[in-house]
Every structure is written in structure tokens, then in C-alpha cells.
Amino acid sequence: LLLHCVYSREVWFTFLRRSGWQRLTPSPPDNLSTWWLCSRKLVVKARRKAFDSVCLLLTRLFWLERNSRVFRNVSRLPGMLVNAVSEQVDLWVRVGFLVRSNLFGD
């Protein structure tokens, strides 16, 4: 689910594109740990923590989405999940866990 389905790839691409990292979007043959370790090396060091944070956040929200689908029979469209990620990023920025300019290059 995290890398191999169309839904997750759309979410990864859409969110990574906002940060200028769309070229790092995972593809089906990738596994999460290998993809992440290789991709983070391609991110400028000053922005690497932001990239790592986004990867962890997306992974967590994919897991929650999966649980929602399986156990509550409730699902969101990819754009809705991207919006949920954006809301979490805004929260992380407000509490000082994430520097917005490191994520979006502002």
C-alpha cells in the first residue's frame, strides 16, 4: 500500500511535488526502506530532515487510511489525504517541529 498502489503513488507524487521533490516519487518496484534511504541522499542536506519528516508523516497517514478502510469501511480520495498531510505539516510547523522553508523551499 505504501508504494505499490495507484492511490499511494498519487498521494506521494502530489505531496512531493509541492516541495519540488516529485522526481523522488516512489515507483512500484521500490520497497519503502530502500527508496527512502536512496531518495534522502538526493535531497539537499539542509532540507533532508524535512524530507524525512514528510516520509514519516505520509507513512503514518497511509497506515491510518488503511485502518479506516479495513475496520470502518471509510475511505478518502487521494486529494483529501494530501490535504490531511498538509494540515499535519501546518501543525508541525506551528509547534516548531518542522521548518516550513526547509520543506517548501520558501
1 within a domain of the structure (yes/no): no
In a domain, 80, yes or no: yes
pLDDT at 88: 92
Q: What is the pTM of this model?
A: 0.86
Which residue range(s) make up the domain with 68?
Answer: 6-102
Q: Report the sign of the C-alpha dihedral through residues 76, 77, 80, 82, in that order.
A: positive
* Position 60 in a domain: yes
Predicted local confidence at residue 60, as pLDDT: 93
- What pLDDT was estimated at residue 102? 84
Whole-number pLDDT of residue 73? 96
CA distance 86 to 18: 10
Q: For the chain, which ranges sit under pLDDT 50?
A: none
**What is the predicted pLDDT for the residue at 2?**
64
Kindly state whether residue 38 falls inside one of the protein's structural domains.
yes
